[in-house]
């Protein structure tokens, strides 16, 4: 982000669901940080829309508390807050009532008059998805979608519960808005480190020659969370890990790591290349679900010295819930680059560490020239893209241990974004909100990609739904998931790669980390 934006157009940011949690915890803190960094246009206004009983002042006060709690910088001083909050307005409205939209349209026209120009209009739907169709209709019928260049609608997951419901949502949006006006958020794409996958691959010529089936044995994508379901049982019970994480975030990561180089770095080309990967992923049929997909649900256990309850004992969760809190999958990408290279994906809640990373495991050496006494065991080179925490890149390879004997040891070369750039990264929402206001759709998902992801996962969802798990809970909180995930990867004679833990204070050269299960 370059901190000047004289080219940025006056913008009205209409926030539906202005009183909700997403607005409070993520959107306003991000907008406020953009304001502090001078990324908001000079002429900028937020109109919060909700049915709740706020007014301009109480909404601002509510946001102030959220920002204080969730912004990476808090609120620096009263004067700054005053100048930011004067751009906040509130419209109490029933979003199923057409007059709400005529009222909104009037306010927008008035604003254009005040600014002597035509402002960009962002309609952000921070509401439950069942309201998306009503809002799109309300905006459309009030003629607020017609200005194709300056009206944008923003939606966020869950974009449907399955393929059919996604199509329903999409049809409702498409009825009034063109695809170029629709911004579908997958917040992983806004993470700095996720975008850096592209920088690593396409700004450095050294990786491309080895980024293929000739040198890579397999790729493992792990998103491990220590948190449980928290206060989200209401949503999560109907979702589960496959819908919540794989349908969007993990498949996006797979696309970024597997895609072909774009010709130009723009929304059209990058989204086409990601879509090419989706096309190439081999579908898993209902008969193959058992072999290529594993599910789990956490039981009670210990996390960092604290006893935590089982998923089925969490507030709002059914005592016989069949919802998976863990899943592991094996995918194959049927194209020239990746034929024969498995992509293993796993994600779960209540795992032992917080770790999101992509491990590219290179092939074994073709010939073992070192004597057995050198101790060259199964430690082929591995490139790890660490997404969080402690974002960075780690290259693991073999080196000779100093000394008179020929002894080989695995070592690590680490690159840390924090150390290299000495700056805190903007949050994913800051990046994405700024892109929406600029009208740059590169980091947003196109309908065809979301649809392809649903199509891919439908057989798994259907098989799992038709056959409730008989072994849930099947992993203890604080462990690395169910036995079934080990079996899944063991089919090909492999095992899950140990997540790369943060470097211990003072560093520990040559110290490899071990997967607690496989250690």
Residue nearest to ligand BG6 (CB): 244
Residues β-bridged to residue 386: 357, 392
Residues 198-227 that bind ligand BG6 (CB under 6 A): 225
Q: Is 244 in the site for ligand BG6 (CB under 6 A)?
A: yes
- The alpha helices in 237-356, defined as continuous H runs, are 241, 251-258, 267-280, 289-292
Nearest approach in angstroms of CB 490 to ligand BG6 is 27
* Length in residues, the chain: 519
Phi, psi of 442 (to 5 degrees): -55, -45
Tell me if 314 contacts ligand BG6 by CB under 6 A.
no
- Residue 50 or residue 244: which is nearer to ligand BG6 going by CB? 244
Q: How far apart are CA 137 and CA 149, in angstroms?
A: 19
Q: Tell me the C-alpha distance between 71 and 69, whole Å.
A: 6
Query: Is-catalytic flag, 249?
Result: yes
Q: Which is nearer to ligand BG6, 192 or 225 (CB)?
A: 225
Cis peptide before 159 (omega within 30 of 0): no
Q: Which helix (H) or strand (E) holds 406?
A: none
Q: Which of residues 153-192 bind ligand BG6 (CB under 6 A)?
A: 187
The nearer residue to ligand BG6, 241 or 360, going by C-beta atoms, is 241
Burial of 345: CB neighbours in 10 Å, binned 0-12, 13-18, 19+: buried
Q: Is 493 exposed, middle or buried (0-12, 13-18, 19+ CB in 10 A)?
A: exposed
CB of 46 to ligand BG6, least distance (A): 23
Residue numbering of the annotated binding site for substrate: 187, 191, 225, 244, 349
User: In sequence order, what are the residues at sequence separation of 6 or more whose Cβ sits closer than 8 angstroms to the Cβ of residue 226?
Assistant: 303, 304, 350, 351, 352, 353, 354
Q: Edge-to-edge strands of the sheet including 44-50?
A: 88-92, 44-50, 11-16, 120-125, 151-156, 182-185
62, 161, 218, 249: which is the annotated catalytic residue?
249
> 281 pairs with which residues across the strands?
333
> At its nearest, how many Å lie between ligand BG6 and the CB of residue 188?
7
Give the three-state DSSP class for 124: strand
Cα distance between residue 478 and residue 226, in whole Å:
8
Cβ-based nearer residue to ligand BG6, 104 or 257: 257
Binding site for NADP(+): which residues? 51, 94-95, 157
CB closer to ligand BG6 out of 57 and 315: 315
Q: What is the nearest approach in angstroms of ligand BG6 to the Cβ of residue 443?
A: 14
Kindly state whether residue 357 participates in binding ligand BG6, applying the rule CB under 6 A. no
Q: How far is CA 225 from CA 252, 352, 391, in A?
A: 18, 8, 15
Chain residues 247-286 in contact with ligand BG6, contact rule CB under 6 A: none
Q: What are phi and psi of 420, to 5 degrees?
A: -70, -40
Nearer to ligand BG6, 187 or 218 (CB): 187
Q: How far is the CB of 225 from ligand BG6 (least distance, A)?
A: 5
Residue pair 239/321 in contact (Cβ under 8 Å)? The answer is: no
Q: State the nearest-atom distance from the C-beta of 117 to ligand BG6, in Å.
A: 36
Residue 352 has φ and ψ, to the nearest 5°, of -65, -30
Per-position x/- string for 224-243, each x denoting binding to ligand BG6 as judged by CB under 6 A, each - no binding: -x------------------
For residues 70-89, which are near ligand BG6 according to CB under 6 A?
none
> Residues binding ligand BG6: what is the number (CB under 6 A)?
3
**For residues 175 and 171, what is the distance between their CA atoms, to the nearest angstrom?**
6
CB of 245 to ligand BG6, least distance (A): 6
Residue 120 vs 192, nearer CB to ligand BG6? 192
Supply the residues annotated as catalytic: 249
Residues in contact with ligand BG6 by CB under 6 A are 187, 225, 244
């Amino acid at each position: 982000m370059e901190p000047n934006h004289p080219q940025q157009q006056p913008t009205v940011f209409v926030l539906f669901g202005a009183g909700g949690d997403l607005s409070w915890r993520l959107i306003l803190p991000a907008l406020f940080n953009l304001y502090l960094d001078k990324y908001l246009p000079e002429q900028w206004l937020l109109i919060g829309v909700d049915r709740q009983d706020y007014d301009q002042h109480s909404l601002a006060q509510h946001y102030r508390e959220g920002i204080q709690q969730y912004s990476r910088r808090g609120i620096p001083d009263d004067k700054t807050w005053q100048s930011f909050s004067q751009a906040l307005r509130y419209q109490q409205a029933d979003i199923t009532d057409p007059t709400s939209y005529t009222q909104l349209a009037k306010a927008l026209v008035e604003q254009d008059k005040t600014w002597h120009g035509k402002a960009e209009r962002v309609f952000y739907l921070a509401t439950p998805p069942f309201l998306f169709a009503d809002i799109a209709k309300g905006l459309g019928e009030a003629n607020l979608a017609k200005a194709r260049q300056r009206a944008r609608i923003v939606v966020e997951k869950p974009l449907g519960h399955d393929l059919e419901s996604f199509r329903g949502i999409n049809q409702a949006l498409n009825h009034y808005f063109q695809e170029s006006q629709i911004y579908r958020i997958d917040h992983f794409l806004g993470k700095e480190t996720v975008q850096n996958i592209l920088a690593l691959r396409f700004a450095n010529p050294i990786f491309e020659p080895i980024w293929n089936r000739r040198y890579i044995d397999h790729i493992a994508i792990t998103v491990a969370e220590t948190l449980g379901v928290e206060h989200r049982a209401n949503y999560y019970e109907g979702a589960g890990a496959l819908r919540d994480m794989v349908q969007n975030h993990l498949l996006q990561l797979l696309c970024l790591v597997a895609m072909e180089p774009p010709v130009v770095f723009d929304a059209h080309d990058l989204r086409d290349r990601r879509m090419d990967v989706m096309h190439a992923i081999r579908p898993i049929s209902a008969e193959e679900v058992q072999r290529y997909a594993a599910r789990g649900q956490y039981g009670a256990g210990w996390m960092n010295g604290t006893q935590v309850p089982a998923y089925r004992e969490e507030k709002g969760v059914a005592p016989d819930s069949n919802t998976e809190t863990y899943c592991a999958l094996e995918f194959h990408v049927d194209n020239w680059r990746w034929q024969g290279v498995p992509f293993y994906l796993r994600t779960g809640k209540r795992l032992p560490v917080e770790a999101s990373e992509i491990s590219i495991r290179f092939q074994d050496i073709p010939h073992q020239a070192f004597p057995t006494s050198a101790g060259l065991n199964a430690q082929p080179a591995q490139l790890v893209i660490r997404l969080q925490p402690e974002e960075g890149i780690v290259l693991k390879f073999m080196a000779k241990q100093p000394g008179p004997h020929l002894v080989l040891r695995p070592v690590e070369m680490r690159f840390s974004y924090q150390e290299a750039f000495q700056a805190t990264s903007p949050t994913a929402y800051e990046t994405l909100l700024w892109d929406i206001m600029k009208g740059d759709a590169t980091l947003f998902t196109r309908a065809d990609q979301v649809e392809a992801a649903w199509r891919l996962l439908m057989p798994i969802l259907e098989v799992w739904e038709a056959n409730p798990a008989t072994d849930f809970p099947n992993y203890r909180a604080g462990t690395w998931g169910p036995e079934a995930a080990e079996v899944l990867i063991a089919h090909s004679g492999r095992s899950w790669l140990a997540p790369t833990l943060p470097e211990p204070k003072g560093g520990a050269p040559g110290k490899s980390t071990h997967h607690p299960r496989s250690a």
